[in-house]
Amino acid sequence: MTLILASAALALASTAQDDVVTLPPPASRPFRIGKSELRDIDFVPRGWKLYDKITGDLDGDGKTDSVLIVQKNDPAKMIENTDGFGMRYFDSNPRAVLVLLHKNSGKYELSAVSTSIIPTHDQPTISDPLSEAGIVGNVLFLDIGFFANAGSWSMSNRRFQFRWDGEAMALIGFDMTHVRRNTGEMTQTSINYLTGRRKDAKGSIEDDETRWQWSDVPDGFKPTLGSIGNGFEFEG
């Protein structure tokens, strides 16, 4: 304990002299798997705000679970765009997805978390990457979209579907459509991780028929909410 307090004092002294802020070690950061609270909203840490809350029975035990989308609340990341392209104001604070299972004890437990699947809204010319989120049955879905009104012809939509498997929020379904608006070129992907099969197609938005090519998902490839990374970069 003495060593910990001395280290903390040294860090504060360094900050005062150099205006350098050192991040705390991972164990003391806001989101800790296994942490329990009586109320779901108590998982919103200091310096963050509740962006959205979704409820439903994720683990099939008849209790209402919660998925919180929280966003860091740093005023410095509330950006005013003075360049004239895109939106005038946008919030570039990162967001995190917290899955809270309602346990028999009556408490909520943080059972899964992602701090990266929702890409940061860091450019005024792109739309908010988070299109929609919800729970249908016991499946959580997240829709991540990319659309730019300047700087890129690309447009894409990704839907992630997750289900609690007893240990993690496992990805059970993934669908992606990517379009180049200047040429009409389109690629599509649909993956069922429960059957281990995927289908892919390349063509044009003007095609009357989609020509799918089927293949197997590699053995052992089992993505989870916490392992996917940036939603813009995941392709299945």
Name the H helices within the chain. Answer: 2-18
Can you tell me the distance from the alpha carbon of 131 to that of 112, in angstroms, rounded to the nearest whole number? 21
Find, among 193, 184, 177, the residue nearest to 235 by Cα: 177
CB 100 within 8 A of CB 55: no
Question: Which SS3 state, helix, strand or coil, does residue 149 take?
Answer: coil
228 neighbors 160 (Cβ within 8 angstroms): yes
Q: Which pLDDT score is estimated for 169?
A: 98
- pLDDT at residue 211, as a whole number: 92
All residues at 6 or more sequence positions from 50 whose CB lies less than 8 Å from its CB, including other chains: 41, 44, 68, 69, 70
DSSP track, 54-118: EEE-SSSSSSPEEEEEEEE--GGGEEEP-SSSS-SEEE---EEEEEEEE-TTS-EEEEEEESSSS
Looking at residue 208, what is its pLDDT?
82
Distance CA 26, CA 156 (A): 33
The stretch 4-11 carries a mean pLDDT of 37
What distances in angstroms separate CA 180 from CA 107, 127, 140, one per listed residue? 47, 16, 29
pLDDT at 15 over 70: no
Q: How confident is the model at residue 19 (pLDDT cuts 50, 70, 90)?
A: very low
Q: Which two tokens stand for residue 105?
A: 């004890």
Question: What's the pTM?
Answer: 0.84
Is the predicted pLDDT of residue 24 greater than 60, yes or no? no
Tokens representing 102 are 């309602």
pLDDT tier at 16 (50, 70, 90 boundaries)?
Answer: very low
Confidence of residue 18 (pLDDT cuts 50, 70, 90): very low
Other CB atoms closer than 10 Å to residue 155's CB: what's the count?
16
Closest CA to 144 of 183, 95, 105: 95
Structure tokens at 80: 């005013």
pLDDT tens-digit profile of 156-212?
999 999 999 999 999 999 999 999 988 989 999 999 999 999 999 999 888 888 899
Residue 21 has pLDDT above 90, yes or no: no
What pLDDT score does 5 carry? 36
Phi, psi of 93 (to 5 degrees): -70, 140
Pairing of the two strands 213-216 and 36-37: unpaired
Structure token digits, residue 65: 């679970």
State how far the Cα of 41 lies from the Cα of 50, in Å rounded to an integer: 8
Amino acid at 118: I
Return the percentage of the chain with pLDDT > 90, whole number.
71
